């Protein structure tokens, strides 16, 4: 029998519907009220905020109500200096600004000369963002350095409450949502897979300034993320040269042996036993470094990092159920290359960055599946293809940002970026796979050279991916302003455009063949058999290209009514066309009126002292 499955002429393009459309949040903020010793507000006070990383200085002046706000600070540590003629200068030396959070630093100035400095420690800042309803876990660089961790920023998601990991559910689950409902961003670029939603680009910690995991209360600027948002923000250069070098080793020299395998006895498919395989040589070495500093002092800065990782593992097999010994080696190279330029001039800051993460792998290690240590049922000849079988994958992400401060309490950001993700298999011969679905052992009518147990095959079955390429381009513009109107408002609005394309070519060489020895073919009744039984040929694959455009609009307002209550009100809408399996035919169309997503939250300062809030 020959059952031929037609080629799929299009991709599963409806998956594009779930692609996250995420705004590029890259900042935190500081706010506060400046008063004198009597409690009277002090308008016109200058607040200077100096980055301890880049030495960049931002200045803002308090309004008529004595309040200042600056909400476009890069995550990191800052020194805050507050000064007004006739009063001593006040210094809060160490304030940590987190991604997406606005902290409060109040000051009470004392009468004196500006040459005098009053240094405030401990109580100068409040670590609670009283106005926000966001539930997020922020990990700055200095905290990341102290944590036991792997080599991927995504692994830090597990440090946040309500985040769990599970392969069946697709990776990380936030508040019970599946892994496909999360969004991963690096400097605002969405790096999710279009197929399963997993993160497709890793970053190492040496060039990360902060990692944030948002789990609830997510604002209207974020779309398509029903689970969580895991964001990484990279470091920037400054007026001081800073650098580091690193070396990491991981492998069998430091590790324990493998856990025992649970094996089902093939003779009765009932009896189970445990098998202890040998410890196989496995070594991973990573060496690299990063450096940042000025090109033009106070104007142009750079930051760069390079960190390749080399991995080698050799498995010693007992092929053909233990009758043929042999080795297969797998070698892999994972490269991390990052570069960033930052330019500051007056009220404008512009930056551009690129991240290149290629991976190459040669050699494929089949899993042990026999009833004794290191045993595999297939023959050494059938596994010869695994000596060269591997893959090549590379991801490139680029982004550019221009941020302009328009006034003492407003700024505008324009951003664009591009993400390229490509995968292809290598070293796989164009050989059709033949697999025994029933045993031919002991069948007298089967030639001796063709007799074999269930699972016998001539070569490993392989779906060859000639290419699987995803590209995603985006452009966003946002406006932020703070003002008073029936209370204190922090208003943010913007629009975005995203274009996503997936181009794939995948096939089994010549299809693949399942052989059923000594069996009748049963389909809508017994169809009989050939001289030896029956076989089926499956010719499946994916060939084609699909893409989608998404336009988005949002507005979000933090409205503080009185001194304690803050309402977080937002609305998001999107315009999207989803492609179908047929060229020129759209599966679904959503206008701006079809995808309205309101946001509603509230926060209340319980005691009025900034130490306890209720929010939701």
In a domain, 223, yes or no: no
Phi, psi dihedrals of residue 574, rounded to the nearest 5°: -140, 155
Can you give the residue range of the structural domain that contains 85? Answer: 28-125
Quote the pLDDT of residue 368.
93
Pick the more confident residue, 524 or 332: 332
Average pLDDT over residues 570-591: 83
Tokens of 566: 């803050």
CATH number at residue 48: 2.60.40.1120
Q: What share of the chain is helix, strand, coil (3-state, %, to 5)?
A: 5, 55, 40
- The pLDDT of residue 387 is 94
Check whether 83 has a pLDDT greater than 60: yes
| The pLDDT of residue 168 is above 80 | no
The per-residue pLDDT for 296 is 95
- CB of 200 within 8 A of CB of 395? yes
φ, ψ of residue 449 in degrees (nearest 5): -70, -15
pLDDT tens figures, 36-56: 888 888 988 999 988 887 778
In this model, does residue 121 exceed pLDDT 70? no
pTM as predicted = 0.81
Round the CA-based radius of gyration of the chain to a whole number and report it: 30
Please give the mean pLDDT across all residues of the chain. 86
pLDDT at residue 263 tops 50: yes
With a cut of 60, say whether residue 3 has pLDDT above it. Answer: no
- Whether 420 is in a domain gets the answer no
Q: Which two tokens stand for residue 64?
A: 């008529």
> ∠ CA(211), CA(242), CA(395), 5° rounding?
45
Does residue 305 contact residue 207 with C-beta atoms inside 8 Å? yes
Query: Is 64 a domain residue?
Result: yes
pLDDT in tens, 487-498: 889 899 999 999
Domain contains 91: yes
Cα distance between residue 321 and residue 316, in whole Å: 13
Residues 408-415 have a mean pLDDT of 87
Angstrom distances, CA of residue 410 to CA of 63, 144, 314, 490, 562: 13, 32, 59, 9, 22
**Contact criterion met (CB below 8 Å) for 320 and 378:** yes
Q: Tell me the torsion sign for CA atoms 211, 213, 218, 224.
A: positive
Residue 227's pLDDT band, with cuts at 50, 70 and 90, is confident
Structural domains of the chain, count? 1
For residue 237, what pLDDT is reported?
92
Strand, coil or helix: what is 145?
A: helix
What is the structure's pLDDT at 135?
86
DSSP 229-291: EEEEEE----SS-EEEEEEEEEETTTSPPPPPEEEE-TTTS--EEEE-PPPPPEEEEEEEEEE
Lowest mean pLDDT of 194-198, 202-206, 562-566, name the range.
194-198
Q: How large is the average pLDDT for residues 180-200?
A: 82
Q: Taking 90 as the threshold, does the pLDDT of residue 306 lie above it? A: yes
Does the structure show a pLDDT above 60 at 270? yes
Domain-embedded: residue 411: no
> Is residue 85 in a domain?
yes
From edge to edge, which strands make up the β-sheet containing 189-190?
A: 135-140, 208-216, 229-234, 183-186, 189-190
User: 112-116, 326-330, 391-395, 521-525: which range is least confident on average?
Assistant: 112-116
N- to C-terminal Cα separation, the chain:
62
Confidence of residue 132 (pLDDT cuts 50, 70, 90): confident
Alpha carbons 456 and 458: distance in angstroms, whole number: 7
The least confident of 13-17, 74-78, 160-164, 481-485 is 13-17
CA–CA gap between residue 217 and residue 138 (Å, rounded): 15
Least confident segment among 119-128, 146-155, 251-260, 441-450: 119-128
Give me the mean pLDDT over the 129-150 stretch. Answer: 85
Residue pair 41/10 in contact by the 8 Å Cβ criterion: no
Out of 56-65, 105-114, 196-205, 599-608, give the one with best mean pLDDT. 599-608
């Amino acid at each position: 029998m020959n059952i031929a499955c037609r080629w799929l002429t299009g991709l599963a393009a409806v998956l594009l519907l779930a692609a996250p459309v995420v705004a590029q949040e890259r900042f935190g903020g500081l706010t506060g009220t400046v008063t004198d010793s009597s409690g009277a507000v002090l308008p016109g006070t200058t607040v200077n905020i100096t980055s301890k990383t880049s030495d960049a200085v931002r200045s803002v002046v308090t309004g008529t109500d004595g309040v200042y706000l600056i909400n476009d600070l890069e995550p990191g540590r800052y020194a805050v200096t507050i000064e007004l003629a006739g009063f001593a200068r006040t210094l809060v030396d160490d304030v940590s600004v987190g991604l997406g959070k606005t902290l409060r630093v109040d000051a009470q100035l004392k009468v004196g000369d500006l040459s005098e400095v009053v240094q405030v420690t401990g109580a100068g800042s409040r670590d609670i963002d009283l106005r926000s309803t966001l539930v997020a876990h922020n990990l700055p660089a200095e905290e990341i350095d102290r944590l036991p961790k792997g080599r991927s920023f995504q692994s830090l998601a597990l440090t946040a409450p309500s985040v769990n990991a599970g392969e069946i559910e697709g990776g990380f689950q936030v508040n019970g949502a599946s892994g496909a409902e999360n969004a991963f961003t690096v400097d605002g670029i969405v790096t999710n897979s279009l197929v399963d939603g997993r993160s497709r680009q890793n970053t190492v910690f040496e060039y990360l300034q902060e990692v944030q995991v948002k789990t609830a209360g997510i604002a209207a600027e974020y779309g398509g993320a029903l689970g969580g948002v895991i964001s990484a923000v990279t470091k920037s250069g400054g007026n001081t040269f800073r650098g580091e070098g690193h070396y990491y080793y991981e492998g069998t020299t430091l590790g324990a042996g493998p856990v025992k395998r649970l094996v089902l006895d093939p003779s009765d498919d009932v009896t189970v036993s445990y098998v202890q395989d040998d410890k196989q040589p496995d070594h991973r070495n990573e060496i690299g470094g990063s450096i940042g500093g000025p090109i033009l002092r106070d104007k142009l800065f750079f930051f760069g990092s390079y960190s390749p990782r080399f991995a080698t593992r050799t498995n010693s097999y007992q092929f053909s159920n233990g009758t043929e010994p042999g080795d297969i080696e797998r070698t892999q190279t994972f490269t991390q290359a990052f570069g960033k330029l930052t330019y500051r001039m007056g009220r404008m800051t512009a930056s551009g960055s690129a991240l290149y993460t290629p991976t190459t792998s040669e050699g494929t290690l089949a899993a042990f599946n026999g009833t004794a240590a290191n045993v595999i049922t297939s023959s050494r000849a059938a596994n010869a293809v695994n000596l060269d079988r591997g893959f090549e994958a590379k991801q490139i992400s680029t982004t550019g940002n221009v941020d302009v401060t328009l006034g003492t309490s407003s700024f505008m950001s324009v951003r664009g970026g591009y993400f390229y993700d490509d995968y292809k298999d290598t070293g796989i011969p164009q050989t059709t796979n033949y697999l025994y679905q029933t045993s031919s052992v002991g069948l007298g009518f089967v030639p001796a050279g063709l007799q074999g147990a269930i699972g016998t095959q001539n070569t490993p079955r392989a779906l060859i991916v000639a290419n699987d390429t995803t590209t995603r381009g985006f452009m966003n513009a946002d406006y932020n302003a703070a003002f008073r109107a029936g209370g204190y408002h922090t208003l943010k609005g913007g629009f975005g455009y995203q274009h996503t394309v997936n181009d794939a070519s995948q096939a089994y060489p010549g299809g693949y063949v399942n052989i059923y020895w000594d069996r009748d073919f049963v389909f809508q009744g017994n169809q009989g058999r050939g001289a030896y039984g029956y076989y089926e040929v499956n010719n499946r694959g994916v060939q084609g290209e699909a893409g989608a455009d998404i336009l988005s609009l949002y507005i979000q307002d933090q409205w503080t009514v009185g001194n304690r209550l803050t309402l977080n009100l937002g609305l998001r809408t999107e315009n999207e066309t989803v492609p179908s399996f047929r060229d020129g035919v759209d599966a679904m169309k959503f206008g701006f009126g079809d995808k309205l997503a309101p946001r509603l939250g509230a926060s209340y300062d319980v005691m009025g002292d900034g130490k306890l809030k209720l929010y939701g």
